[in-house]
A and B are shown apart, each in its own frame.
Chain A
Amino acid sequence: MLPLTNLRRWRRVLPGIALLGLAGCNLIEFSPNDHRVPEEFTNLTEKNLAKLQARPLAAGDSLRFIFTGDSQQFYDEAEALVASVNQQPGISFLVVAGDISDFGLAREMQWVDEKLRRLTVPYVTVIGNHDLVGNGRPTYQHIFGAFNYSFVYGNTKFIMVDTNGREYNFDGTAPDMAWLKPQLANFDGARRQVVISHVPPTNDDFDPALRAPYVQALHEAPNLVFEMNGHNHSYSITQPYNDGVTYVNSDAFSERHYLVVTVWGDKQFRIKRVKF
């Protein structure tokens, strides 16, 4: 029989052992492709949009947000970016234009969120080709959410669309034009539109069969401010199709620059590139 003092000692130690056990459960990884993560790392798009909608932009205020992309393996840079963005006044949210992860793995997406949740503003993402590698599809779905979605903030409708055609072996499903067209036709109460995706239509990784319909749909959009992409790891503002549609490309985290984007009026905008 155990002496009473021993029992007391065990009572003190047991919660610690239970805690270790819980941590152990998270460590027991079935496969790097398994997407079990703690609940706090799931449904992040929905959670971050709820946070954003809880802080509506005052009527008449210009909309200002941070645009960046391709966080991938750049965790050191992610820390520096968060520290810098947290110094920016008057911003509403941050956008990562795809390639949150490098290998489409749950742990990576969790690691990036652990950095970006330290932002003083919410962040949203669109899926990138690296997020679709292996079992990235269900993993991104579980951790972030929908591949195609839209939201309205500050009089602007943001349309986030999966354009990673190569990951579907150019099967004609990405971008999903049947989803995109009605999204562009409807303002949902906003006065202007912004389309954000990962692979730009000028890139070889965009489904060649969908390039013309996509470019045409953007051209015909009733009040598109610009189309924004990642993937190139290189900042640019161009009108590659000379059709009046502006395409903005973000720097990757690795380039240690982000864009401060201000939008006002009908569809006026200003873009400032910031080094961090």
Chain B
Amino acid sequence: MKKLLLSALLLVAGVPAFATPPDTAAVRIPPAARRVERPWYRPAHLALQTGGGLGMVAAGAGYEFSKTHLETDILIGYVPKYYAGSTLSLASLKFMYSPFHLPVGDKFQVVPLTVGAYFSYTHGTINDELKGQYASDYYWFSTDTRYGPLLGSRVTFLAPPVAATGQPRKISLYYELGSNDLYLASYLNNRNGGLGFGQLLTLALGIKADF
């Protein structure tokens, strides 16, 4: 992906880097090579989303691995008291795999399929288990910890790279359909169609900015 972007940029700039043999006295350093080495902890992108069970608003940062095919996002979400009866804050971890990145012209890219999973912890629920309130196996499920699958896609706008560093920039809009362990358990316990699959789904809409 980065290679593709780089060659596209070189072509646009009309740089004859590949057409002529390099002059050892004045080697042109391609912009990407000038990039300052990023510290390992610096995230690849920032993300902002609504829904998906992870907050009315959830914001955070993410890392990319394996040439952007693998991503991990860490989000902090918020649900106001008006909608949940108490103010909820959620910490979520998402893992995503996007096997295809399809270029659409020079400026856009479509990621038709992202599959993944999330894990979330909710702080602020009202009837949170107090010590000794229940026997250890009283409720088999956790009130605050949720996990579930994700499936989505996205459209990415490839902005011109940062001039000084050659750092590529991208802005993506995404949606994700998801569910959670409790909805899936309810579905699996009713094998005669008591629940429709569509009834389990949640939707998240979001934006991601690589920087």
Contacts and interface: CB of A to CB of B under 8 A. Distances in A.
Contact of A27 (B55, B85, B127, B201): B201
Interface in B40-56: 50-56
Interface string B189-211: 11111110001011111000000
B90 interface: yes
A255 interface: no
A137 interface: yes
Interface stretch (B24-32, B101-109, B139-147, B155-163): B139-147
Contacts of A169: 130, 133
Interface string A84-128: 000000000000000000111101100100010000000000000
B7 interface: no
Contact of B189 (A29, A32, A73, A105): A73
A142 B125 CA distance: 16
Interface string B165-191: 000000000000100101101100111
B182 A27 contact: no
Interface stretch (A47-55, A75-83, A206-214, A244-252): A75-83
Q: Give chain B's interface secondary structure class.
A: loop
Given A134-B127, A137-B85, A73 B56 contact: no
Contacts of A34: 56, 79, 83-84, 88
B192 A28 contact: no
B83 A73 contact: no
B201 A135 contact: no
Contact of B139 (A29, A33, A107, A133): A133
Interface string B64-99: 000000000000010100011110101000000000
B127 A30 contact: no
A31 B191 contact: no
Interface in A9-33: 24, 27-33
Contacts of A102: 182, 186
Contacts of B177: 27
Nearest to B201: A27
B4 interface: no
A132 B127 contact: yes
B193 A76 contact: yes
B134 interface: yes
A233 interface: no
Contacts of B182: 32, 102-103, 105
A103 B86 CA distance: 17
Contact of B194 (A33, A79, A105): A79
B194 A136 contact: no
Contacts of B192: 76, 79
A57 to B, nearest CB: 32
Nearest to B199: A111
Nearest to A75: B194
A24 B203 contact: yes
24 contacts: A27-B203, A28-B51, A28-B204, A29-B203, A30-B50, A31-B90, A32-B182, A34-B79, A34-B83, A34-B88, A35-B84, A36-B83, A73-B185, A73-B190, A74-B190, A76-B194, A111-B199, A133-B139, A135-B88, A135-B126, A138-B84, A138-B126, A142-B85, A166-B134
